[in-house]
Structure 1
């Protein structure tokens, strides 16, 4: 019984690490797709007409990046890193 537990623990750890790496790759791929969509929308002159996003932009213009990230998270339900990356992309377009 003890041997099975000792063999199972590294297996679970390895499985967890594998899943984490795959999720990291998926996150990076999604971020690349979002950047490309943002570039295409910018090239076509299409703007996201969400009024809450206008508030995020206004906060960025006022130099309140942390508050902009907070509002972005509230509006979209995004995780902290995703919101930070999105707000930084918005800041480069302003």
Structure 2
């Protein structure tokens, strides 16, 4: 086999390992966030981020709300948008 083909295959394999690892880390972070949210709820820690997001949505700053949620939770763009959209659909009090 040509050296270029071997290097390309090794690079592709390494890329697959990296993508798989990143995916696993994202899943771990999501699971940890769920656990922390459950603990915070049981202990009585107020959910200030949701209140802030609702305020931003009411002010018409949906993109800012998505950015703030991403920073606070470490989620990806798609997940953050889905969460903010779900807040938008709820009756905002």
- Give the TM-score of the pair, scaled to structure 2: 0.64
Q: CA RMSD in A?
A: 3.5
Any unmatched runs of 5+ in structure 2?
none
Conservation of the 8 A alpha-carbon contact between 2:62 and 2:84: no
**Structure 2 equivalent of residue 27 of structure 1:** 26
The 1:37/1:64 distance shift into structure 2, 3 A limit, reads farther
Q: Does 1:56 align with 2:53?
A: yes
Any unmatched runs of 5+ in structure 1?
none
After TM superposition, give the deviation of residue 43 of structure 1 in Å. 2.0
Please identify runs of 4+ aligned residues in structure 1 that moved more than 6 A.
none
Whole-Å separation in 2 of the counterparts to 1:23 and 1:63: 35
**C-alpha distance after superposition, 1:31-70 (max 9, x if no partner):** 11101101111122102557xx64323134x395833113
